[in-house]
Structure 1
Amino acid sequence: MKNISFWKMHGAGNDFFVINPDIKTYKNHDWSQLAIKVCDRHFGVGADGIILVLPSEVADMRMQIINADGSEPEMCVNGIRCFVKYCLDQNLCKDVDGSITVETLSGIVKTKSIFNDEKLVTHVRLVLSEPDFDPLSVGVKTNLTPPVLDMNVDVGDAGMVSTDLVSMGNPHAISFIETDVFDYPLTSIGPLVENNKLFLNRTNFEIVNVRDRSNLTVRVWERGVGETLACGSGACAVVAAAHTRGFVDSLVNVELPGGTLKIEWGGEGEIVLTGPVAKVFEGSWEV
């Protein structure tokens, strides 16, 4: 058995176990099993997922993320912010102005970091691909023409949930509701939407209150994790859907239980997210 060093980190409360494994030593390691163990909040470190810091041939660094249930999502925006802080605070990238690129399963993400007086990263700005409203990109086979808004999802005895479909490189089903999001039974409805047979690869699920044209309040049920305090790609997907519906302007604050993310999108092209990131502690784990 060997010990591997890790950082516990979070982006707006979405927390991760971040490691920089030697790829030769751990070439065939079962990272999914490690994720299940360390992410357990009673018997492990406790996290929404683990992040592997890896070399890349097409970007400055490559990020691999594994959810708490051992599944591997396409990408994670809050995770990318943690990844970037880890790399820059430890001088893993030959960076000049805080701009690095990150390879993910859904493509390359451009980032720009904000530093404090101690030259440690406090916030990260990410430039992400244009939101995709094609239902196939969310894993839904339908004859409906995009954008697909108000698609009903059958959640059994709870009835139907009206959802908007958006992909940010990973799937999102979004429901705009009138009642307070904090009164919504997300822990019971969330898994029914996530695992509904309509979604070939399962889905993330967001519920949204529109406060005004610049402010949204959101709760998230994350695929493979459960309810999380924040979801960066979810915040982007929510703003894309809200803008398409005419609910918001191009600069939006998305309030989540773990903090606020700032989203910029004018209705086409790349979408930009800026949010906080922090290191909680560091340690080692026997693998």
Structure 2
Amino acid sequence: MADRFTKMHGLGNDFVVIDARERPVEMTPARAHAIADRSFGIGCDQLILLEPSTSADVKMRIFNADGSEVEACGNATRCVATLLGEPSVIETLGGMLRVTPADGGAEVVLGEPVFDWEHIPLAMPMDTRDMPVAWDELEHGAAVNVGNPHIIFFVPEADAIALDELGPRIETDPLFPERVNVNVASLDGENQLQLRVWERGVGLTQACGTGACATAVAAIRAGLVKSPVTVSLPGGDLIIRWAPGEPIVMSGAATRVYDGETDWTRFG
């Protein structure tokens, strides 16, 4: 009997979504990595495994393209919301997420952002609003945890940064015990940001929902923008709303590309 999956994307950040709520699927890092391979597998930035939950409507597990399991993915959450088709609560390693499908996409309510250095986490105490560290021209970063760890750099032109070279260096720096997602952003009009993301375990990506959330929060904290914030990524725009002491709300598109069948044992 073949196993079914759905290929989806949120602004070009693409996923293989497996609904294992009724028929369990064993997933290992090696299998997830093989499925995500664009030459020999199905190909995706992340593999999403849906499982039963005792505390929410569904449990969502997220595997990056390198096979590592991670806490959160905003674009994938919007995609899952459209599959569920009704307001739902999704359990993730990063916490409970409330989702509401909308025309062509979904709204996701994440938890409150976390700024304490030990909860990013960082390897040593420092001011996460203005970090006294630098990697070449990227300096004075801000760190935010929005279910997963992010560092954000505000620069004059996001497109001018060699993120393909700096991203992996920063991601794997010993300062970040659990690695980190790297965001470079520039102002692009009133309450608008241009953003590029090096995603932990993935690389350069067309869009990163949690990166957009973390960047908008850092920009609001720094007084650069006011909520709601339009974050423009290579794959499209996300709208982020946040006020101190409140959860983050993200709105954006989600697209169902096709449904397929395969045998997961082919991937190890």
TM-score in terms of structure 2 length: 0.93
Secondary structure of the residue aligned to 2:88 is: strand
Q: Distance in 1 between matches of 2:131 and 2:190?
A: 20
Q: Distance in 2 between matches of 1:56 and 1:243?
A: 34
Distance 1:43 1:189 in 2: 28
Match of 2:88 among 100, 121, 126: 100
Q: 2:168: which partner in 1? A: 191
CA distance in 2, matches of 1:30, 1:56: 17
- Number of the residue aligned with 1:175: 153
Aligned match of 2:11: 12
In structure 2, distance between residues paired with 1:144 and 1:45: 42
- Which of 61, 65, 76 is the equivalent residue of 2:73? 76
Residue 79 of structure 1 aligns with an amino acid whose one-letter code is A
Distance in 2, Cα, partners of 1:25 & 1:253: 39
**Which residue of the partner structure matches residue 142 of structure 2?**
164
Deviation, 1:22, is 5.8
Provide closer, same or farther for how the CA distance between residues 64 and 226 of structure 1 changes in structure 2, counting only shifts above 3 A. same
Equivalent residue in structure 1 for 2:119, among 126, 137, 143: 137
Could you tell me how far apart the structure 1 residues matched to 2:27 and 2:100 are? 32
After TM superposition, the structure 1 = structure 2 runs for residues 198-209 of structure 1, keeping only pairs within 5 Å, are 198-209=175-186
**Map of 2:263 onto structure 1:** 286
Local SS of the residue matching 2:177: coil
1:149 aligns with 2:125: no
- Which amino acid in 1 is paired with 2:76? G
Counterpart-to-counterpart distance in 2, 1:168 and 1:151: 21
Residues 123, 160 of structure 1: alpha-carbon distance in 2 compared, 3 angstrom cutoff? closer
Identity value in percent: 37
Deviations 1:81-124 (A, max 9, x none): 11122222xxxxxxxxx311100011110111114xxxxxx211
Q: Distance in 2 between matches of 1:221 and 1:33?
A: 22
Contact kept, 8 Å, 1:140 with 1:200, in 2: the verdict is yes
**1: distance between equivalents of 2:196 and 2:226?**
20
Which one-letter code corresponds to 2:18 in the other structure? I
Return the offset for 1:159. Answer: 6.3
How many residues get paired? 264
Matched with 1:93 is: none
Amino acid at match of 2:91: E
CA RMSD for the aligned pairs?
1.7
CA distance in 1, matches of 2:216, 2:203: 21
Within 5 Å, give how 1:26-65 maps onto structure 2.
26=25, 29-65=26-62
Residues 37 and 25 of structure 1, relative CA distance in 2, 3 Å threshold: same
Is there any run of 5+ residues in structure 2 with no aligned partner, and where?
none
